[in-house]
Amino acid sequence: MCYSAQIKAEYQRYVRAYGADIDLHEYYDLYWRRRQGAKLKIPRGVDLSFSAPQTDEERRIKALIDETDAEQAWQWQQELARQKQRLARAEAALAAKPTKKAQDEARIAANKIAQLRGWLEDLQRTEPQAKDSRIFPGHYAPVMVSEHGRRVVRLMRYQCRPPGKPAHYDERFPGTYNARRDNLEGSFWRDLFGRNHGVILISSFYENVQRAGEKAVVEFKPRPEHDLLVACLWSRWEGEGEVLYSFAAITDDPPAEVAAAGHDRCLVPIKPEHLDAWLNPDPSNLQALYAILDDRDRPYYEHRLAA
């Protein structure tokens, strides 16, 4: 299963390359909910796509991001001060009488100080880095769908909760960020396959593999290098006063080079010429949709151990 991917977080990429419209109202709603305390995992790369707002709606979103960043920075600065005091106490104890407890306290405090400083630097940074746009299950990412014949980009959670399923399915079925090609007509996905299709733009994906009897994280990149239009299913779920947009990436048996690297699944990137047919599916002709998944983009996937 693809547990992590390097996405194209900036919505402008979808506008330029695919002529998509952006549902900025949905973006604003998510950022407003996060500002009110909702634990929404929006990648920093998505935040940075609003660093130079051009419209009133973009400026309102940027204001919410800035307010949240300021509050987060204050909390981390308070914790940084506490950890500095903790380190000073541990160092004083070590100077008086070295003990394992004092050594552990000094080590833990020093590690937390370095971590907090890194977080604060990232919060103040305006230049994007690759890590800003890496998503994991539960993170939000831009997903391109079709609404009334037009391409639209929405922020959706990378773990799908189909309509009618209870919220606790997120914990009961934690792997629903991927949908197997050989199970698209099964009970969990059948109401979405042939109806709610989308794509995400990614530049690489990550998998857990076994290397010499130990787990390792491997990054797979297409060669020649290009963006992959990964086929997805998506859902609009309502319940308990909440509206949740979420998605799952479709996976299939891997090409030879991915299997040789130690993994048994691979994302399914569709060809650009199939984009509109995929985004506007005919539920009475599922075979045409399977044909799109079979006639997929087939780059060679170069791999390396992830940092």
CATH of the domain at 77: 1.20.58
Give pLDDT tens digits for 115-170: 999 999 999 998 889 999 999 999 999 999 999 999 999 999 999 999 999 999 99
Looking at the fold, whether 239 and 182 belong to one and the same domain comes out as yes
Phi and psi at residue 125, to the nearest 5°: -75, 140
Looking at the fold, whether 152 and 264 belong to one and the same domain comes out as yes
Q: Is the pLDDT of residue 240 over 90?
A: no
First vs last C-alpha separation in the chain: 19
Domain-located, residue 55: no
Domain of residue 94, residue span: 62-124
CATH of the domain at 206: 3.90.1680.10
224, 27 contact by CB (below 8 A) = no
Q: Is the pLDDT of residue 1 over 60?
A: no
Give pLDDT tens digits for 205-226: 999 887 777 888 999 999 999 9
Of the pLDDT bands very low, low, confident and very high (cuts 50, 70, 90), residue 307 is low
Last residue of a domain, one of 83, 99, 124: 124
Residue 208: what pLDDT?
87
Last residue of a domain, one of 124, 139, 160: 124
Q: Which residues contact 66 (CB under 8 A, 6 or more apart)?
A: none
Looking at the fold, whether 105 and 218 belong to one and the same domain comes out as no
Candidates 221, 304, 214, 210; CA nearest to 267 is: 221
Looking at the fold, whether 80 and 195 belong to one and the same domain comes out as no
Domain-located, residue 38: no
Of the pLDDT bands very low, low, confident and very high (cuts 50, 70, 90), residue 241 is confident
Last residue of a domain, one of 124, 148, 163: 124
Tell me the pLDDT of the chain averaged across its residues.
Answer: 94
Percent of the chain at pLDDT exceeding 90: 89
Looking at the fold, whether 143 and 172 belong to one and the same domain comes out as yes
